Amino acid sequence: MDLIEIFKNPDTTYYPCVMWFWNDRITEHEIEFQIKEFKKSKIYEFFIHPLSGMELEYLSEEFFSLIRFAVSIAKENGMKFWIYDEYNWPSGIAGGLLLKQNPETLGCVLLIKKFTLFAGQKLDHKFEGEFVCASILHKNKNAVRENITDRVKVESENGQTRIYCEINSFTTVEVTLAYKAPSAGICMAGLWASFSDFTPGWLDANDRETVNAFINSTHERYKTVIGDEFGKTVLGVFNDEANNFSFFDAAHYNVTGVQAYPWTKHFAEAFQRDHGYDFTPYAYTADCSFLDADSIKKRFDYWETLSHLFADNYVKNVADWCEPNHLKLTGHLSGEESVMWHAYQMGDSYLALKEFHIPGIDNLFSKNYIDNVDFAITAKFAVTAAKFARRKRVICETFSGSGWDLTLQEMKRCLQRIIVAGINMTQYMGAYYSLDCGRKHLPMSYPPSHGYNNPLFAHYGELNTYAARLNALCAETIGASDIFVMLPLISVQIDKNLQGTIDQSWRGICLELIKTHHEYDIASERALYDAKVENGKLIINGFEYGTLVVPDIYYTSQKVIDVINKLTAQNGNVIFCGNTLLTICETGEKVSYAKGELNLKPNFGTHENVYVSHRKTADNDDLYMIVNDNAEDVDIKLDSAGCLFDPFDGTVRAFDSSVKICAYGCVAVLIKKESRVELKHGWRFNAEGGNWLVLPVKTQGENSEISGGYGLKPSDKYTATAEFNIQDIPEFAELIVEYEEGMTVILNNVDISVGLKSLKLWGIRTKSVDVTSILKNGENSLSYVSSIPAWNGPHELPSAYLRGNFKLNDNLELIRNTKQIAPNIWTTQGYPHFSGVGIYETEFTLPDPVGDKLLIEIPANDVVKIILNDEHVKTLLWKPYTTDITQYVKKGENRLRLEFTGTYQSLMQPEEYDLQGQGHLIRRGKSAPAHSGLDNFPVIYILD
């Protein structure tokens, strides 16, 4: 994959698309004119969204004739068409026509009503709906709840139901009544059209047969008319504001003083299949006021079933229709801004989102929120679901309701922010076919219009190219998160009174991650159900996380607890940022964990209003998309060199370690791993002047060894000895001693004192002599006789060393010097005592073409002199150990020489020594070898 070429010349699919609102009298002439205007402004894909004010009957022959014409014009102009599968929104009732023509598709809701009966009073109550179950709570000191479902007598007639029952209570009781009623909220999909009669209600989105009726009424009709272009000019279907519990119903029934919850006609059978018992007699436990263990379990089971019914029977069902028809399902769910609506309108939004081929969100009123740090924070829900489902694109409806004063700069700011959040299919919401009369403003439109009737539209082409480049980078990479944030939907489903604290908690965590520029993923607990834990890492659908962050959470499932326990048992990083006493829904058992804090170190500095997305390419390169949302330029410091992508002009250029981003600007930075040469092999090493062995000299008395040297005083004579082993006699070796006047030095019974010559090394006493011919395989012995200096002080025995052409094994035995070395520190590869100048050499060949700029990065801590093809490039004294080598390389084979100058630590302090200090011996501890030379293999970055 050539990411640079994709960025410079993005395919038309990466350009922003447009939701085209048909909201007036539609003609072929106007259709052709507006489609061609889209193309002039580099909009190559459009969705036709029938909207309030359309003077045309939805799904009529005339309507489909005009759809067919629009597709033909798109085809002629090399453009693409997407089906929007509803009139107005939300998708599901075909503008109300489905409910009128197929009344059996009308959904229903579960209603919970509470009222009080006084002592001795009978239960005798009328309501509109179908009785499900009832319970009473005795208001005495024991507060006993009693299920009275089996005792209740039921009479039904004309939709009216009467229930009555003897209570026989000596205390006041609270009755909880659960009953079913038809969906009755007035839905936007059935409003403000020439054909509409304000049909109330919503379809049964949890029932497969009902959803199939919706598919047959709408999608199959499109197939009949334009199916020959499916997978060619027609790319897919947009399903809008999908849900299984309409907030129109919630509002409708809450006004009557009852609480509404989702239901479906075949719920009892589905629940029995999932959990093995009948939920119907206990349906009142759907109400969140029951927090005893039994009710919690039943309510948990209720939401488990509902979550899967909606995801499978609605979203997956539509997606399954799309696939054999060569279409993709895209769109977004309802109420994604709030954890409450995530939990109550979809059961579990994660399960539903991942069934879309292109999941999405909306970002309406964009201008109103662009200055908020949590702008587009909900994008992560869809982005994470897409990642786990291995979906490449994520769509976002943008700008609707932002006003007629929305400028291109403000649009650019919004687009940058949503793309950095992971959106890579930006959709203008929307282009109004007409702005006549009331269509200029709310409620008939949400300005601005992203079509010819906006004076700024003539300049959209440059903005669209800018966005296309960023979309392409985002789409061709994937978020590189090491942090997974768990969204506690189950806690809200068990007790919706917790929604405020939980919403605040997860938002606060995400904002902290955004401010500190840490990539993260977020999904509900159910994403953990099939997670693995290996080596202290959380693995979800193949993606590995080093940190699991748990916001305020109170209730969860046993499966989630099992994952948390496995992580903690393997010393995984689990951070609880709120409540830590959890109730397991299935058992009622309570478990407690330690509270933690994120304590995040900011990446990319501490700049305010800078937003970063860390992504990975298909080749595992690192891509950072960085937005500067300030009115001033900022300088961003990076640890590595790489390529800088400028979406404004499409250029790609090299940078070293600093990037300047203009006010309200955005760049992408690529650290290319495969566009580099890793110098792993063929290394040779030379210890300048020879390798060193520090000889372990110890003292002896005149007749016997004096343990530790005790008894020696100034002027006392002593004998010192050292033994060492040789496996391979070196080609050259010299003995170096710190010579005292009158000292006798004997090696392997040969007196070499007379051969010692002064050596200018680190003092006035240092002398050396060639001992190559005296050394022998096996054990060698050195001894010298000398005296403690006459003055009282902290004296140390004169040191002795071998220096020469050899290596040392782990037992410090001399072995043959092969010159071969791995690109790593020399002190662990046969040179544990060597200090000085260590020289690494290798040859390498660069790919052809070489590239416009080459940088070498050397993992080091010492001074390093770089010589390339016999030319001195640069001497690096400290970090960053990176420099430009472009002018020194050549095609074919290149020779690299790195001369490291390390410290003296490994030579000066490798062994224990006996010290004479004011008449007392002092023991000095052993020091570890210095970390000298290469830390790892050098890398040459090739920047195009």
Residue 83's contacts (CB-CB under 8 Å, 6 or more residues apart) are 47, 48, 219, 222, 234, 236, 237, 238, 327
Contacts of 150 (CB under 8 A, 6+ apart): 281
- For residue 273, give the H/E element and its range: helix 267-275
In the prediction, which pLDDT does 700 show? Answer: 64
594: left (phi over 0), alpha (psi -120 to 50) or beta: beta
Contact indicator for 314, 205 with CB cutoff of 8 Å: yes
Angle between helices 219-226 and 61-76 (to 10 degrees): 50
The DSSP bridge pattern shows strands 837-845 and 893-901 to be antiparallel
Backbone angles phi, psi at 514, to 5 degrees: -65, -45
- CA–CA separation, 283 vs 305, rounded Å? 13
| DSSP-assigned letter for residue 187 | P
State the average pLDDT over residues 745-762.
91
Give me the sign of the Cα torsion angle 645, 646, 652, 657. negative
Is residue 563 within 8 Å of residue 534, measured between CB atoms? no
pLDDT at 490 over 80: yes
* pLDDT for 137 beyond 70: yes
Confidence class for position 274, pLDDT limits 50, 70, 90: very high
Statement: residue 929 has pLDDT above 70: no
The rounded distance, in Å, linking the Cα atoms of 233 and 373 is 39
SS3 869: coil
Which pLDDT belongs to residue 920? Answer: 40
Nearest-angstrom CA–CA distance, 823 and 838:
12
Q: Give the neighbor-by-neighbor strand order of the sheet with 395-398.
A: 328-333, 234-242, 80-84, 45-50, 17-22, 425-432, 395-398, 360-363
Asked if residues 926 and 910 have their Cβ atoms less than 8 Å apart, the reply is yes
CB 509 within 8 A of CB 547: no
Q: What letter represents residue 306's amino acid?
A: L
The answer to which of 91-95, 106-110, 306-310, 605-609 has the lowest mean pLDDT is: 605-609
- Answer whether 431's CB lies under 8 Å from 450's CB: yes
- Cα distance between residue 933 and residue 831, in whole Å: 11
Q: Which residues on neighbouring strands pair with residue 200, listed in sequence order?
A: 186
Average pLDDT estimate for 518-547: 96
Q: Could you please report the per-residue DSSP string of 556-622?
A: E-HHHHHHHHHHHHTT-EEEE-S--EEEETTT--EEE--B----PPPSSTT-TTEEEEEEEETT--E
The answer to whether residues 834 and 827 touch, using CB atoms and an 8 Å cutoff, is yes
Q: Which of 129-133, 256-260, 307-311, 611-615 has the lowest mean pLDDT?
A: 256-260
Which amino acid is residue 616, in one-letter code? Answer: K
Residues 337-385 pLDDT 10s: 888 888 899 999 999 999 999 999 999 999 999 998 889 999 999 999 9
pLDDT confidence tier of residue 675, bands split at 50, 70 and 90: low
Asked if 746 and 700 touch (Cβ cutoff 8 Å), the reply is no
CB atoms within 10 A of CB 404: 10
Taking 50 as the threshold, does the pLDDT of residue 923 lie above it? no
Tell me how far the alpha carbon of residue 105 is from its chain's centroid: 40
Where are the strands (E) in 514-561, listed by range? Answer: 520-524, 532-534, 537-540, 543-545, 547-550, 555-556
Tell me the residue type at 621.
D
61-76 helix and 28-40 helix, angle to the nearest 10 degrees: 30
pLDDT at residue 710 is higher than 60: no
Q: What percent of the chain has pLDDT over 70?
A: 95
Question: What backbone phi and psi angles, to 5 degrees, belong to 319?
Answer: -60, -40
pLDDT of residue 942: 77
Quick check: 941 pLDDT over 80? no
Position 789 pLDDT exceeds 80: yes
User: Cα–Cα distances in Å, from 435 out to 25, 36, 431, 441, 445?
Assistant: 11, 19, 10, 8, 8
In angstroms, the Cα distances linking 482 to 264, 538, 614, 680 are 39, 9, 10, 28
Phi, psi of 651 (to 5 degrees): -85, 155
Least confident of 146-150, 151-155, 557-561, 713-717: 713-717
Which pair of tokens denotes residue 647?
A: 């979406």
Specify the amino acid at residue 347: G
Whose CA is closest to 706, among 719, 689, 694, 724?
719
Instruction: Please state the length of the chain.
Output: 944
Distance, in Å, from the CA atom of 472 to the CA atom of 465, rounded to the nearest integer, reads 10
Q: Residue 254: which of 150, 368, 112 has the closest Cα? A: 112
DSSP string, 556-568: E-HHHHHHHHHHH
Q: Is 309 helix (H, G, I), strand (E, B) or coil?
A: helix
Residue 605 has pLDDT above 60, yes or no: yes
Across the chain, what does the average pLDDT equal? Answer: 91
Question: What's the whole-number mean pLDDT along residues 59-71?
Answer: 97
Lowest mean pLDDT among 254-263, 329-338, 666-675, 761-770: 666-675
DSSP one-letter string for 1-59 = --HHHHHHS--GGGS-EEEEEE-S---HHHHHHHHHHHHHTT--EEEEEE-TT--S-TT
- ∠ Cα 243 514 501 (to 5°): 55
Helical residues (DSSP H) of 289-442, grouped into ranges: 293-310, 317-322, 339-345, 349-353, 366-369, 379-388, 408-420
Report pLDDT digits (tens) over 283-315: 999 998 889 999 999 999 999 999 999 999 999
Mean pLDDT value of segment 396-400:
97
Q: Which amino acid is at 704?
A: S
Residue 130 β-bridge partners: 180
Residue reference for tokens 């399960």: 351
Question: What is the rounded distance in angstroms from the CA atom of residue 614 to the CA atom of residue 81?
Answer: 32
What is the residue-wise DSSP string for 203-238? B-TT-HHHHHHHHHHTHHHHHHHHGGGBTTTEEEEE
315-344 residue pLDDT tens: 999 999 999 999 999 999 998 888 888 889
Instruction: Give tens-digit pLDDT for 849-892.
Output: 666 778 888 988 889 999 999 999 999 888 778 888 989 998 88
CB atoms inside a 10 Å sphere around CB 593: 18
In eight-state DSSP terms, residue 358 is B
Q: What's residue 944's pLDDT?
A: 57
With 80 as the cut, is the pLDDT of residue 390 above it?
yes
Q: Check residue 67 and give its pLDDT.
A: 98
711 and 692 in contact (C-beta within 8 Å)? no
Q: Which helix (H) or strand (E) holds 654?
A: strand 651-655
Q: What angle do CA 309, 92, 278 make, to 5 degrees?
A: 25
